[in-house]
Amino acid sequence: MKEHKILFTGTMGAGKTTAISVVSDTAPVVTDVLNTDPTLIKEKTTVGFDYGELQLASGERLRLYGTPGQQRFAFMWQILATGALGLVIIIDNSRPQPLTDLSIYLENFAALIRDTGCVIGVGRMDSHQQPDLDDYARHLHEQGIICPVIAVDVREREQVLMLIDLLLMQLENRMP
């Protein structure tokens, strides 16, 4: 049985676990522990990875992995990125420096972004409008990256599907 994977990454508390849970066929496996980071208003945080999956009609399995958010787990990012179909980056716009956050993921997943596809979902834009999507586009342009960047509420399944749709469109379009 063939297996494939899509990776979800982003800052701690951005909503990777939620994004996976709203599209996964099965209850996602989470490796959350009690949060000890006093700067984050969140009871638990992911230290290993989140895991959800889709059982496709062909018998194939699409694994959805959420990376741990904190940069100290960056070694896990590369392990999880190996062989991934593409990358979904979820950014929390309420954090102090969301564009700096984004740069961390663009840098650490540069090879995956270059070789596959990437889409960026910016969360909590309703309460935190700045930076806006044009700022994100400008930031990506400065890094030499062109990929979709949209506002997203990861609690809404349709919006997470939109992220996946845009990712698939890129992947499909790289084929002849």
Considering the rule CB under 8 A, would residue 165 count as an interface residue with another protein?
Answer: yes
Q: CA 12, 20, 110, 1: dihedral to nearest 10 degrees?
A: 140
Mark residues 113-152: x for contact with another protein by CB under 8 A, - for none: --xxx-x------------xxx-xxx-xx----xxxxx--
**Residue partners of 149: CB distance under 8 A and separation at least 6:** 119, 120, 121, 122, 133, 136, 137, 140
Instruction: Provide the minimum distance between the beta carbon of 116 and another protein in the complex, in angstroms, as a whole number.
Output: 5
Instruction: Provide the minimum distance between the beta carbon of 5 and another protein in the complex, in angstroms, as a whole number.
Output: 11
Residues in region 45-84 near another protein by CB under 8 A = 54-58, 60, 62
Q: Which residue number, 147 or 154, has a Cβ lying nearer to another protein?
A: 147
Separation of alpha carbons 45 and 13, rounded Å: 7
Instruction: Provide the minimum distance between the beta carbon of 18 and another protein in the complex, in angstroms, as a whole number.
Output: 16
Task: Spell out the long-range contacts of 61-64 with Cβ–Cβ below 8 A and sequence spacing 24 or more.
Answer: 61/1, 61/2, 61/3, 61/4, 62/3, 62/4, 62/5, 62/6, 63/3, 63/4, 63/5, 63/6, 64/5, 64/6, 64/8, 64/20, 64/23, 64/24, 64/28
Considering the rule CB under 8 A, would residue 98 count as an interface residue with another protein?
Answer: no
Q: Which residue number, 14 or 119, has a Cβ lying nearer to another protein?
A: 119
Q: Which residue number, 104 or 151, has a Cβ lying nearer to another protein?
A: 151
Which positions lie near another protein, rule CB under 8 A?
4, 23, 54-58, 60, 62, 85, 115-117, 119, 132-134, 136-138, 140-141, 146-150, 158, 161-162, 164-166, 168-176
